[in-house]
């Protein structure tokens, strides 16, 4: 049974009157004179309820401070994420600051290589979705690792992509260490770790001749990434023909299919920079 409604009080909807608005001249201790909007509500309580607008300049400054605080928090969180990704990337300290801006492109071939690598990084969402890869070949000191790391640094910072840099010898060593009886990891564990990052940068491809078993391991890693459409960048001091002989026609065909092969065929500038 419902309790009887009180006859002493009327609903606010019946007593509330249309608010009365007016403007008055006001003084802000900080910014001086301003026009304040005064809104009076009657019928809410026994006495009129008055709302006065504050100094617009004070409000603007308060909003600006709050926006700056939130932006600072976002920037700090962003830098924490980037630092964590960089710490796991394996990019050598010497190449941690490599960018497209500090790549010295003097010759036509260097300018083309720079343009291709920059375009690849700028189109990372599409390149990543396509599993697009790059092969950078040529003599030592021609800027291959610089541009590869510039791509890695860019996609890591701009897109929070997981990047892993490794030499072929380090990759093979990590796999072979699993052959110990007391190894906590299996060969497949290491292969999976190499196959997982959004971008894998493999340096010194073909430095050593490599046994058939080592070539098979390399092929397994690269094939795993190819099958799962995960981009890779291969860096080699071999010529394109020598690299194809080392990796095999099948592997090189796949890289031509899903990316670009760039020949760094100019003289080394390592000593001149």
Q: What is the pLDDT of residue 273?
A: 43
User: Quick one: 207 and 144 in the same domain?
Assistant: yes
8 A C-beta contact, residue 205 and residue 238: yes
Classify residue 6: in a domain, yes or no.
Answer: no
Among 36, 67, 88, the domain-final residue is: 88
Residue numbers of the domain that contains 34: 22-88
Classify residue 272: in a domain, yes or no.
Answer: no
Classify residue 55: in a domain, yes or no.
Answer: yes
Please, where are the H alpha helices in 123-239? 124-130, 144-159, 168-176, 187-195, 212-227
d(CA 34, CA 30): 11
Q: What is the pLDDT of residue 3?
A: 54
User: Quick one: 223 and 203 in the same domain?
Assistant: yes
Classify residue 78: in a domain, yes or no.
Answer: yes
User: Quick one: 134 and 218 in the same domain?
Assistant: yes
pLDDT over 90 (residue 123) = yes
pLDDT, tens only, 174-228: 988 998 888 999 989 998 899 999 999 999 988 765 677 887 888 888 889 999 9
Q: What is the pLDDT of residue 210?
A: 65
d(CA 167, CA 179): 20
Classify residue 38: in a domain, yes or no.
Answer: yes
Classify residue 11: in a domain, yes or no.
Answer: no
Element (H, E) at 86: helix 56-89
Among 88, 108, 128, the domain-final residue is: 88
User: Quick one: 68 and 100 in the same domain?
Assistant: no
Structure tokens at 154: 């860019």
Q: What is the pLDDT of residue 272?
A: 47
- Region 123-131: mean pLDDT is 95
User: Quick one: 231 and 160 in the same domain?
Assistant: yes
User: Quick one: 254 and 205 in the same domain?
Assistant: yes
Residue 270 pLDDT grade (very low, low, confident, very high; cuts 50, 70, 90): low
User: Quick one: 110 and 215 in the same domain?
Assistant: yes
The H helix count followed by the E strand count for the chain is 10, 8
User: Quick one: 202 and 260 in the same domain?
Assistant: yes
- Region 54-73: mean pLDDT is 95
| Between 252 and 108, residue with greater pLDDT | 108
pLDDT, averaged across the chain:
87
CATH number for the domain spanning 141: value is 3.40.50.300
Contact partners, residue 43, CB within 8 Å, separation at least 6? 12, 15, 16, 17
User: Quick one: 252 and 127 in the same domain?
Assistant: yes
Helix, strand, or coil (residue 196): coil
Q: What is the pLDDT of residue 248?
A: 79
Classify residue 84: in a domain, yes or no.
Answer: yes
User: Quick one: 145 and 117 in the same domain?
Assistant: yes
d(CA 32, CA 180): 79
Q: Which of 15-29, 106-120, 156-170 is the least confident region?
A: 15-29
- Region 71-87: mean pLDDT is 94
User: Quick one: 129 and 76 in the same domain?
Assistant: no
User: Quick one: 53 and 26 in the same domain?
Assistant: yes
pLDDT, tens only, 222-266: 889 999 999 999 999 988 888 888 877 888 888 888 888 999 988
Residue 139 pLDDT grade (very low, low, confident, very high; cuts 50, 70, 90): confident
Element (H, E) at 135: strand 133-138
Among 42, 58, 88, the domain-final residue is: 88
Q: What is the pLDDT of residue 10?
A: 54
- Region 11-29: mean pLDDT is 78
- Region 56-82: mean pLDDT is 95
**What is the C-alpha radius of gyration for the chain, rounded to an integer number of angstroms?**
32
Classify residue 215: in a domain, yes or no.
Answer: yes
Q: Cα angle vertex 159, ends 158, 160, to 5°?
A: 105
pLDDT over 60 (residue 6) = no
Q: What is the pLDDT of residue 7?
A: 52
Give the total number of structural domains in the chain: 2
């Amino acid at each position: 049974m419902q309790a009887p409604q009180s006859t002493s009080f009327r609903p606010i909807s019946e007593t509330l009157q249309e608010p009365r608005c007016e403007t008055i001249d006001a003084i802000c201790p900080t910014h001086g004179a301003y026009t304040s909007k005064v809104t009076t509500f009657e019928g809410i309580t026994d006495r009129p309820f008055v709302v006065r607008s504050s100094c617009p300049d004070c409000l603007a400054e308060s909003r600006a401070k709050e926006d700056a605080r939130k932006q600072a928090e976002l920037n700090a969180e962003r830098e924490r994420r980037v630092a964590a990704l960089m710490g796991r990337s394996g990019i050598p300290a010497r190449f941690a600051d490599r960018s497209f801006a500090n790549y010295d492109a003097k010759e036509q071939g260097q300018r083309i290589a720079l343009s291709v690598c920059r375009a690849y990084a700028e189109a990372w969402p599409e390149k990543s979705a396509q599993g697009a890869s790059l092969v950078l070949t040529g003599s030592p000191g021609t800027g291959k690792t610089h541009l590869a790391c510039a791509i890695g640094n860019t996609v890591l910072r701009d897109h929070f992509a997981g990047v892993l840099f490794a030499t072929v010898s380090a990759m093979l060593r990590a796999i072979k260490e699993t052959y110990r009886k007391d190894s906590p990891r299996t060969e497949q564990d290491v292969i999976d770790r190499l196959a997982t990052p959004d971008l894998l940068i493999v340096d010194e491809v073909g430095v050593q001749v490599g046994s058939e078993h080592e070539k098979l391991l390399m092929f397994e890693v690269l094939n795993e990434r190819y099958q799962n459409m995960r981009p890779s960048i291969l860096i080699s001091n071999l010529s394109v023909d020598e690299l194809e002989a080392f990796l095999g026609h099948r592997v090189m065909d796949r890289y031509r299919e899903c990316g670009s092969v760039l020949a760094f065929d100019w003289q080394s500038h390592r000593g001149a920079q």
